[in-house]
Amino acid sequence: MRRLLASILFSFTIIGAVCQTDFRDISFDEARKAASREGKLVFMDFYTSWCGPCKRMTDQVFPQKSVGDYMNATFIPLKLDAEKGGSELAARYKVKSYPTYIVTDTAGHEIARLSCAMPAEEFLEKVRHAIDYGMTPERIKERTPQLVEAYAMQLVDKGEYRNINKIIDEYYHSLTDSQKLDPANTFVFTTFTMGFDNERTRYMIEHEEEFKKNNIKAINDRITQYHRFHK
């Protein structure tokens, strides 16, 4: 009986180890070589010993089966203390907050960046979205709504606010009137338009009825806020 119980407990231990994210104890160069051999990307989790959100991700998110299954199949994951062994890489990739997650290709080129602690489902969704619409300048030239929004969101994580405004302005001015009214481009008028005294807000108000026909809650809320502000 004792042997049976011990065998069951051992089995659960093995299953848990397999399911959780397998952060490898190897160098960045070794991780890139492994990623090349295995057809994967490199995932770096930059943390510090005093970072509460980092500990929550380590204790509550990365051990989950859904997260481990995806991470281990897609990446060579590394966990790096940004103030100790990972300080050089943190400086190279300009990591300024914790946790910060950076995905690179096998050459070490950054293709995605995320930050903050979040539930497992949200984390997986954001990681998938980030690598689907990676933030390389070459890809942003494609100028699809999904790519522009993802690129701008990742610039937020990097704190490059001037570049965000430039990207959104250039994209906005490239759109036709029908494209500006397209629900896929809602983010241009909401997420990345601060305040009411700007060209994008003025366009939205001038075309209020056309926007309302699309019945987009974020746009309707923005227009309502504008009218309240200007009473």
Catalytic residues: 51, 54
By the 8 A CB rule, do 159 and 121 touch? no
Identify the helix (H) or strand (E) that includes residue 43.
strand 41-47
- The CA-based diameter of the chain, rounded to the nearest angstrom, is 78
**Helices 145-158 and 161-174: crossing angle, nearest 10°?**
170
Helices (H), 75-207: 87-92, 120-132, 137-140, 145-158, 161-174, 177-180, 186-189, 199-206
Which is it for strands 41-47 and 100-104: parallel, antiparallel or unpaired? antiparallel
- Joined together, the tokens standing for residue 164 give 């965000």
Report d(CA 2, CA 180) in Å as an integer.
Answer: 69
